[in-house]
Structure 1
Amino acid sequence: MQSHVCVTGAGMTAFSGDAGVPIHELLETAATRALDDAGLAAADLDAVHVGNMAAEAFDGVSGLHNALTASLGAHGARADRVENTSASGASAFQRGVQAVAAGAADTALVVGGERMSTASTETATGVIGSIVHDREHAYGVTLPSFAGLAADAYLRRYDAPYESLAAVAAKNHANGARNPYAQFQKRITTGDAAESPLVADPLRLYDCCPTSDGAAAVVLAAADDADDAVRVRACESAVGTHAVAEREDLLRVESVARAGERAFAAADRDTGDVDVACIHDAFTVLELLELEELGFYGAGEAYRAALDGETALDGALPVNPGGGLKARGHPLGATGVAQLVELVWQLRGEADDRQVDCGTGLAVNVAGFGNNAVCSVLEVAE
């Protein structure tokens, strides 16, 4: 029987505003849970890939991959750390998929993690702000300001109400309240979102993801698809225009569109085959823009889907069933792997109160404000 790259184990820590433990411990906890789920000993790993953006800035440490292999007892495994800003987790996953697909490894552990609570608000703002183009950064441009500009342009261009953004926030908080691993367990209404403090007009507090601590992990292996294995159909990435000011259209996220096109082509699937999606909603407007860039909706149509409940758990296309970045939390290096963990749990029917009916799932993890994107398609083998 033909072998494929499959996810044989998944695990994560709860995401929180302050985990109270070092980054090394977060990574080890998530990794151990994934290994236990896969029934695999760390000593049997061929490769370990760690996704992390800024351990030096947040924790004053480096060499996370070496420390992790030592603490796990994965002696002799090949190991590296992958950094792709806020898409570091999915990029590490892509590295692991490529290694197993190429036959360079029979088993690979992918762990993503970040501990952001150690930094002051000023330091964290500076670290995250460094993602943007240096010229724009020099003028004080931040990711929330880019998101505010995009949200304002979207609402104006399509004559969309702010409530469409608030609907995304309310949906994802409702989903997060069903997820014991989510940072926010509180449901909110669209009214709560509309009345929350203004951050970058028209975006308000509930339109923006939090800073978070946490880690997530998956085990990859070359396996047959005879026993309902979760198969990696595709994992593709693409860069976009780095400087936002140089983009032809502020509402186009080229990296997401390209990565999505490549992933659908590699998977031999299209939007109609996808039953559940994990979308990089660092800001509510990004959920709408990315759904349109991936082809699930035409330009200016995703906001209507949000208002109509099409992206809710019981909708035609459930989006961010685990709460997304907005409610599950956004530990930068962990997010891309956490999205995949959620898809694995959904595809295996292990998502408890937030379970949806699905056989194919898609995840997109974005670096910066669309500077880079990684899109993955996972599927239950038939």
Structure 2
Amino acid sequence: MARAAVVGAGMTKFGVHDKPLQELFGEAALPALDDAGVEPSEIDAFYFGNAMSGQAENDTHLGPKLASHVGMAGVPVQRFEDACATSSNAFKNAVEAVDAGIHDVVLVGGVERCTPETGQDTAAMTRIFASASHRQYEQPTGLTFPGVFALFTKRHMHEYGTTEEQLAEVAVKNHGNGALNPNAHFGKETTVEEALDGPIVADPFRLMDCCPFSDGASAVVVVSDELADSYDAPVDVSGVGHATDVVPIGDKDTPHVTQAARDAAAQAYEQADTSAAEMDFAEVHDCFTGAEILASEALGLVEDGEGGPAAEAGRTARDGDVPINPSGGLKAKGHPIGATGTAQLVELTEQLRGTAGERQIDGADSAVAHNLGGDAATTVVTVMEVRQ
């Protein structure tokens, strides 16, 4: 049974933007409202995600700034911050609100600027990103997220024999998909040879294993199940799971397993009365190529240890049996932290409506989105389906 439905979706191109946050968000929110066929005055509440504007741009108290910019002054607004899972958690709370009858029509979105347009260089933004790691145990060592996910991936290599060539295959696939996505930060294809020839960032990751810092915004309109049929092309939200894990890597029993993702996926599948085997494709948090491999296993799309071989065999390609990241993923589409979660849901909406253009997954009826925050200590998993 549907818990809610998405009836409108919009997003900006991800990349480098020089607009202030409220203007950038407006370029996603207003198209989402138009897509839903609703006016700002019809929105009951606004839930949005932004992770770093306070540190990066000295710009906080964003709720009324964004709401008034898109014509929703007076609407209750709630900002969420959960590292990279920020707007996914905003969406989860919106779904719960309409499912509980608190609101009928909710705007959900996210916005972030992470490029030097913020006034911060790459080193400074890397430090700001790292604020999501453990303040006492990890930050003093200089550990940043390339190192965090490199540690997860090296352990996965040790356990299952995952190879650098398999990581490169993930990059090649996602860049190929991103080349078909007009909103992607990177629209250029690459090869395994080019990926393996890149400079080391954090062993085993080379440059092409890492997603970019991006600016961007995304938004969806969520309505109650009871109202969904009064809108054009609603897409059902049938399950949303949310779980956490311990933060320090040294305290994780099996860091290559990403336990929070498994717990959140179990919740989402149970709510939706479905399983991984029923998913026609997935959008996952591939901040690094190794993260996609871990996510494919955590979601149950492939067996443990089979994430690397599945990528190498083409199983996760758009025409494979378990397509992953037809949007290009964070790797090619880009990663504006607060906008990433709802951008995944924009992709699910377009694919399930059959409007994704050249990157369309044929016959897609159900899909899963996986978005994690920090060092895999927060994960939100969403199942969406074509409305019957």
Structure 1 and Structure 2 fold alike (TM over 0.5): yes
Q: Is the 8 A contact 1:291 1:302 kept in 2?
A: yes
Q: Distance in 2 between matches of 1:103 and 1:150?
A: 41
Q: Is the 8 A contact 1:241 1:254 kept in 2?
A: no
Q: Is the 8 A contact 2:243 2:261 kept in 1?
A: yes
State the one-letter code of the partner of 1:80: Q
Give the structure 2 partner of residue 94 of structure 1.
92
1:165 equivalenced with 2:170 (yes/no): no
Q: Distance in 2 between matches of 1:169 and 1:138?
A: 31
Give the structure 1 partner of residue 199 of structure 2.
197
Residue by residue over 1:117-147, the C-alpha shift from the partner in whole angstroms, topping out at 9 and shown as x without a partner, is: 2121222011101111111111111111111
Aligned pair partner of 1:186 in 185, 188, 195: 188
Residue by residue over 1:45-98, the C-alpha shift from the partner in whole angstroms, topping out at 9 and shown as x without a partner, is: 100011010111122111211111111121332111111111101011111111
Report the alpha carbon displacement of residue 300 of structure 1 after superposing the two structures with TM.
0.7
1:248-327 matched pairs, under 5 angstroms: 248-327=253-332
1:218 equivalenced with 2:220 (yes/no): yes
Report the alpha carbon displacement of residue 225 of structure 1 after superposing the two structures with TM.
4.9
Determine helix, strand or coil for the equivalent of 2:98: helix
Q: Distance in 1 between matches of 2:349 and 2:233?
A: 11
Give the structure 2 partner of residue 6 of structure 1.
5
1:350 equivalenced with 2:355 (yes/no): yes
Identity %: 41
Report the alpha carbon displacement of residue 343 of structure 1 after superposing the two structures with TM.
0.4
Select between 161-170 and 292-301 the one with higher mean Cα deviation. Answer: 292-301
Give the structure 2 partner of residue 133 of structure 1.
134
Q: Distance in 1 between matches of 2:241 and 2:276?
A: 16
RMSD: 1.3
Q: Is the 8 A contact 1:4 1:224 kept in 2?
A: no
Q: Distance in 2 between matches of 1:15 and 1:338?
A: 10
Q: Distance in 2 between matches of 1:294 and 1:241?
A: 19
State the one-letter code of the partner of 1:120: D
Determine helix, strand or coil for the equivalent of 2:342: helix
Cα gap change, 1:225 to 1:11, in 2 (>3 Å): same
Q: Is the 8 A contact 1:225 1:381 kept in 2?
A: no
Q: Is the 8 A contact 2:7 2:228 kept in 1?
A: no
Q: Distance in 2 between matches of 1:179 and 1:273?
A: 25
Determine helix, strand or coil for the equivalent of 2:217: strand
Q: Distance in 2 between matches of 1:69 and 1:151?
A: 40
Give the structure 2 partner of residue 206 of structure 1.
208
Give the structure 2 partner of residue 58 of structure 1.
56
Aligned residues: 380
Cα gap change, 1:221 to 1:210, in 2 (>3 Å): same
Report the alpha carbon displacement of residue 229 of structure 1 after superposing the two structures with TM.
2.1
Report the alpha carbon displacement of residue 301 of structure 1 after superposing the two structures with TM.
0.8
**Uncovered stretches (5+) of structure 1, i.e. residues with no partner:** none
Determine helix, strand or coil for the equivalent of 1:341: helix
State the one-letter code of the partner of 1:184: F
Q: Is the 8 A contact 1:238 1:372 kept in 2?
A: yes
State the one-letter code of the partner of 1:381: R
Determine helix, strand or coil for the equivalent of 1:130: helix
State the one-letter code of the partner of 1:31: A
Determine helix, strand or coil for the equivalent of 2:126: helix
Determine helix, strand or coil for the equivalent of 2:64: helix
Give the structure 1 partner of residue 47 of structure 2.
49
Give the structure 2 partner of residue 338 of structure 1.
343
Q: Distance in 1 between matches of 2:259 and 2:366?
A: 24
Q: Distance in 2 between matches of 1:188 and 1:160?
A: 21
Give the structure 2 partner of residue 329 of structure 1.
334
| TM-score (structure 2 length as normaliser) | 0.95
Residue by residue over 1:147-179, the C-alpha shift from the partner in whole angstroms, topping out at 9 and shown as x without a partner, is: 122222222322232110000000000000000
1:34-45 matched pairs, under 5 angstroms: 34-45=32-43
Aligned pair partner of 1:364 in 367, 370, 373: 370
Q: Distance in 1 between matches of 2:71 and 2:228?
A: 27
Report the alpha carbon displacement of residue 116 of structure 1 after superposing the two structures with TM.
1.0
Q: Distance in 1 between matches of 2:26 and 2:86?
A: 17
Report the alpha carbon displacement of residue 43 of structure 1 after superposing the two structures with TM.
1.0
Q: Is the 8 A contact 2:2 2:236 kept in 1?
A: no
State the one-letter code of the partner of 1:8: V
Select between 304-313 and 218-227 the one with higher mean Cα deviation. Answer: 218-227
Q: Is the 8 A contact 1:50 1:64 kept in 2?
A: no
Instruction: List structure 1 runs of 4+ shifted beyond 6 angstroms.
Output: none
Q: Is the 8 A contact 2:127 2:144 kept in 1?
A: no
Q: Distance in 2 between matches of 1:115 and 1:80?
A: 19
Aligned pair partner of 1:176 in 161, 175, 178: 178
Give the structure 2 partner of residue 122 of structure 1.
123
**Uncovered stretches (5+) of structure 2, i.e. residues with no partner:** none
Give the structure 1 partner of residue 30 of structure 2.
32
Q: Distance in 2 between matches of 1:4 and 1:334?
A: 23
Report the alpha carbon displacement of residue 273 of structure 1 after superposing the two structures with TM.
0.9
Residue by residue over 1:186-236, the C-alpha shift from the partner in whole angstroms, topping out at 9 and shown as x without a partner, is: 000111110011100111001011100000000011224586520100111
Q: Is the 8 A contact 1:4 1:225 kept in 2?
A: no
Q: Distance in 2 between matches of 1:33 and 1:89?
A: 18
1:78 equivalenced with 2:80 (yes/no): no
State the one-letter code of the partner of 1:344: T
